[in-house]
Amino acid sequence: MLFRMNHLKAIREGKITLAYRTWRKVSLKAGSTQLTAYGQLMIDEVTEVPESDITEASARESGYPTKAALLAELAKRPGQLYRIRFHYLGEDPRIALRENSEITSEEMAGILKKLSSLDKHSSIGPWTKKVLTAIDRHPAEKAGDLAVPLRMDKEWLKLNVRKLKNLGLTESLTLGYRLSPRGEEVLAAMKRQ
């Protein structure tokens, strides 16, 4: 579920706790979390509703000035109408994770096991060490430029760097990526193996 940047600020401030979306298939469930550019949300409720559920007040509660403005936005996508209630949970937990370079031997073993699993289940074979090394050697390089010497598709690379980011190993920059302090420690451990 994507939000406009001005909505994300209001969500973080607790001013928006409701959203409406049209989906062909439900992509969220109550009790799950959602990462955004401004932090993490807890999804409290996801309910299919009729259009009559939307009122002027609920449109404002979801960040739109009027019911008409919200309906115009919803009309851009086909699907069933859903009401989503949520609350701001806090900062993106990956930020604290990536800054933590004091990794216990047990944690390191778990991370290396996850990376090994990513390599094992990849259609292109082992890639995690290659990608971490490339990011370490070429920080802030565009994904397309990074992908060429690795002989990887740019979109495949971006998708899989996201998996490394979820482990706290990389950080997305305005242009390209860099290893986090945690990622530097993990790469050093991989090189020692």
Report pLDDT digits (tens) over 1-39.
788 888 999 999 999 999 999 999 998 999 999 988 888
Residue tagged 């115009």 (tokens): 72
Q: Count helices and strands (H / E) in the chain.
A: 9, 6
- The strand pairing partners of 107, in sequence order, are none
Residue tagged 């996508």 (tokens): 77
User: Can you tell me the distance from the alpha carbon of 75 to that of 56, in angstroms, rounded to the nearest whole number?
Assistant: 17
With CA atoms as reference, report the closest residue to 8 among 32, 31, 47, 34: 34
Query: How do residues 66-82 score in pLDDT, each as one tens digit?
Result: 999 999 999 999 999 99
Mean pLDDT in consecutive groups of 10 residues from the start of the chain, 193 residues: 88 94 93 90 96 96 96 95 95 82 93 97 96 98 95 95 94 94 96 93
The CATH number that domain 5-91 falls under is 2.30.130.30
Q: What is the pLDDT of residue 101?
A: 83
Class for the domain spanning 94-192: mainly alpha
User: Can you tell me the distance from the alpha carbon of 146 to that of 164, in angstroms, rounded to the nearest whole number?
Assistant: 15
- Domain ranges in the chain are 5-91, 94-192
Return the axis-axis angle of helices 128-137 and 143-150, rounded to nearest 10°: 130
Q: What is the pLDDT of residue 139?
A: 97
**pTM of full prediction above 0.85:** no
User: What is the DSSP secondary structure assignment for residue 167, as one 8-state letter?
Assistant: T
